[in-house]
A and B are shown apart, each in its own frame.
Chain A
Amino acid sequence: MSEQPVARLRGVSKFYGATRALADVTLDIMPGTIVGVLGPNGSGKTTLMGHLPGLLVPTAGTVETFGRPATSLDDATLARIGYVSQEPRLMDWLTVAESVDFVRAGRPTWDDALAARLLADFDLDADKRVGALSPGLRQRLAILLAVAPEPDLLLLDEPAASLDPVARHDFLLLLMELIQQEGRTILISSHVLSDVEKVVDTVLVINQGRVHCHQPLDNLREAYHRVDLSAIGGELPDPLPLPGLLAVTGDRRRAMAVCGHVARRDVESAANALGADASVRGLAFEEIYRLIATTDGRKV
């Protein structure tokens, strides 16, 4: 029997007044995947993630999380979800320890050892009032409160945005540790592609509310290639007869081409057939992302 998706979105659109935030999104989030949700500011990442626990109600379409309609999840199902927002609201009047106690009281799966370790690793003073914490420390506390209950689905919306480089590194290590635990599904949105690349196994690129790409990272790496060409004793043909050609820069003597949606061996054999000095290599993740984000809605 095939595995049931953790979240299933079918034809989901979301409008805020006249502003369209999501447009006909259909996708499945499979269990155990670590999905990097990428896209420019205002592309719909937060809106997409807000639909999974039922925080947002779709204007059209359906969202199911853990097999149930997302807008009517029961307490037990919601307790399986952890969520960190860009600017988390915390109970400023409580101390850090009281905040931990508050969340711990309702979560049967709370991991005391993990919480204690994160308190120490994140330099959080248990006796300090939450309202007196700096934005970075508040974000760390929000991460602790979302992670310590060991949720099956962890939604991280720009979780590292207000963390300094050291805290971000610690957070990435924590994420990698969480990933080791089988069955856990994580969605993480971030603008720091180098961070995302280290932890995700699937990439979801969204722009203007539309999903441009939802693919395993390895597949993407195998699908995009950079070809450096130098003519030997003549000129390069124009146009270059390369499969899946997406972009070319340079001149008739030296050129750099980008090919997509094609196997590397096909690109290599086509490049070698040109009679030029050719080298084919994979694209950096950042270059792949830029290509996808600028394909104006074409599916990759």
Chain B
Amino acid sequence: MSIPTLVPRDLLPRPEWTLLRIGVGTVIPVLVVFGLVWQGVPPQFTLIVLLMIGSQVSIALAQAQKEMLAATTSYFQPGLGRRVGQAQLFWGVVLPAATTTVFGLIARDVGTAVLGSTFGLTMIVHALMSWATLRLWWAFQLPAWMFYFFFMPMAIRKAAVVSGLLDVAQRPAIWLAIGLLALVLLVRYASSRNLQRRLHDTIVLGPEAIFNPGRVQAYKQRSRRHAQVLGGPAWRRRVLARFIRRAGAARRRGDAEGARRWQLLSANFAANVSPRPLVVPLLLLGILAMTVVFGYVQGSGSLRGSWYSGLVYQVGLAPLFGLAMMLLAAPLDGVSRRVGFRAELAAILVTTLASAVIAILLKVFSEALAGMLPPLDWRGSVRTFTPAPLHGLWLVPLTAPFAWLALALRPRPQCALPNMFLIFGFFIGHGLMTGLPYVQTVPAYAALSVVVFAVAFWLRRRWWRRADLPC
């Protein structure tokens, strides 16, 4: 492999965007590094933050290369795969070198063994993040997900888990060997024809797609063009068939509102539940992992209340994601304005109810785990699993009106506003209920939710009165 053949276009295929993405992904960790140095916090925390910065850079670089490989002409471009592999090798050496240098400058007395381990660890992080970005279609979410892992060490900063990190880092040979192996595997993967074949002519989603559900939808439509919308596992087919049967039955008995309601719910279900048989089991596994990890992280008692263990309630918002798609993208023909609005209201209520049921199931599941999972003792630090807090049970349904309000403010099927309102509403509500007594926060949040619902109700009813229906 000849490094001199590398050109800037291969190393940094989309310079402006890549630098912007790196900037957005690293601004908080960089500030935290300054804060840690200022406060004289032990160097292991600096190392974690530097690894976080490295991972954000790796993701942004791999993302740009992925976009380049996805172009129609790239598959036929001689040597492009090899050049992408070379670029990965280049960054796989330069990034660890930069991280190690910065760490050495900040923590001057950690010793060469730890610095060697830092080099190896950064190689591992780079290889893992780059591979995940190139391999996973949903890798555009990785920069956001990384922050969960980033803040966790902060939550357990007093625990021996982190303070023991430098002990582990006393064996540089192991980390360097693993890092080298990971880098070789990454270069092999990045150069492979299989990757080019997989990416050829596909829509590649960047981190900005989080705020662009239209692009995500376009990706899904394209990737599922060979899949049957009503297909998938037997249980999915049965649920969809049931919804459609109910819509048909309502239509036959002259219940236009019921028909429309079931039509909306079936559209929402089909859009939210993937027909791929492995997706739902994998998501359930993810929820299990999230509940366990966040439960034990919370066990440190370093944060007030139950911030981490309550994050699992985000899953309860799932039926509400894509609300605008459900309510606005479905065909409106044959629906009067009055029926349309009433069916929308009913669909919102049913979806909110579904969210509340999921929140209850999460709470029950979390309590069951609390009864089963033993305390963990690692290096003298005992960590007890903390179940999800109670407030998720009402926080999730009370957040639903925020999405409806966003939809009312900007009634466009592919607008990201409803999802953003949901996420911010949840985090603000969760933060308040975690940090302040329920007696103050719950009535306030409930009152706000009712006001939001009333405004959304008024706006949507007005919209239905004035909207142009398709002819």
Contacts and interface: CB of A to CB of B under 8 A. Distances in A.
Contacts of B71: 89-91
Interface string B220-246: 000000111001000000000000000
Nearest to A145: B73
Contact of A102 (B9, B16, B70, B200): B9
Given A79-B77, A146-B73, 20 more contacts: A16-B226, A21-B226, A53-B76, A55-B197, A55-B200, A75-B78, A78-B75, A79-B76, A83-B75, A85-B72, A85-B201, A89-B201, A90-B71, A91-B67, A91-B68, A91-B71, A93-B14, A106-B80, A107-B78, A145-B73
Interface in A7-37: 16-19, 21
Interface residues of A, number: 34
Contacts of A75: 78-79
B132 interface: no
A93 B13 CA distance: 9
Interface of B: 9, 13-14, 16-17, 67-68, 70-73, 75-80, 193, 197, 200-203, 226-228, 231
A76 interface: yes
B72 A19 contact: no
A142 interface: yes
Given A17-B227, A54-B197, A88 B75 contact: no
Contacts of A78: 75-76, 78
Interface of A: 16-19, 21, 53-57, 71-72, 75-76, 78-79, 81-85, 87-91, 93, 102-103, 106-107, 142, 145-146
Contacts of A84: 72
9 contacts: A17-B227, A78-B75, A78-B78, A82-B76, A83-B76, A88-B201, A107-B77, A142-B72, A145-B73
B201 A17 contact: no
Nearest to A75: B78
A17 B226 contact: yes
Contacts of B9: 102
Contacts of B13: 91
A113 B70 CA distance: 28
Contact of B73 (A18, A71, A103): A103
A89 B72 contact: yes
Contacts of A91: 13, 67-68, 71
Contacts of B75: 53, 55, 78, 83
A142 B73 CA distance: 8
A76 B203 CA distance: 27
A90 B72 contact: yes
A18 B80 contact: no
B228 A83 contact: no
A87 B201 CA distance: 8
Nearest 4 pairs between A and B by C-beta? Answer: A16-B226, A75-B78, A88-B72, A106-B77
A294 B9 CA distance: 51
B228 A19 contact: yes
B79 A106 contact: yes
A127 B241 CA distance: 53
A142 B72 CA distance: 8
Contacts of A93: 14, 16-17
Given A16-B227, A19-B226, A93-B17, A106 B201 contact: no
Contacts of B228: 18-19
Contact of A19 (B79, B80, B227): B227
Contacts of A55: 75, 197, 200-201
Given A76-B78, A106-B78, A89 B70 contact: yes
B191 to A, nearest CB: 11
Contacts of A21: 226
A82 B200 CA distance: 14
Contacts of A79: 76-78
A88 to B, nearest CB: 4
Contacts of B200: 55
B202 A89 contact: yes
Contacts of B68: 91
Nearest to A87: B201
A216 B396 CA distance: 65
A154 B226 CA distance: 25
A89 B75 CA distance: 12
Nearest to A74: B78
Nearest to A103: B73
Contacts of A72: 193
Nearest to A86: B201
A18 B231 contact: yes
Q: Which of B80, B200, B231 neighbours the largest number of chain A CB atoms within 10 Å of its CB? A: B200
A75 B191 CA distance: 12
A164 to B, nearest CB: 21
Nearest to A155: B76
B450 to A, nearest CB: 44
A40 to B, nearest CB: 15
Q: Which of B73, B75, B197, B227 neighbours the largest number of chain A CB atoms within 10 Å of its CB? A: B73
Given A88-B72, A89-B202, A103 B197 contact: no
A18 B68 CA distance: 31
A87 B221 CA distance: 14
A89 B70 CA distance: 7
Q: Which of B16, B80, B201 neighbours the largest number of chain A CB atoms within 10 Å of its CB? A: B201
A79 B73 CA distance: 10
A106 to B, nearest CB: 5
A51 to B, nearest CB: 11
Nearest to B16: A93
Contacts of B226: 16-17, 19, 21
Contacts of B17: 93
A103 B80 CA distance: 10
Nearest to A93: B14
Contacts of A103: 73, 77
Nearest to A108: B78
A16 B231 CA distance: 12
Nearest to B277: A17
Nearest to B9: A102
B72 A83 contact: yes
A105 B72 CA distance: 16
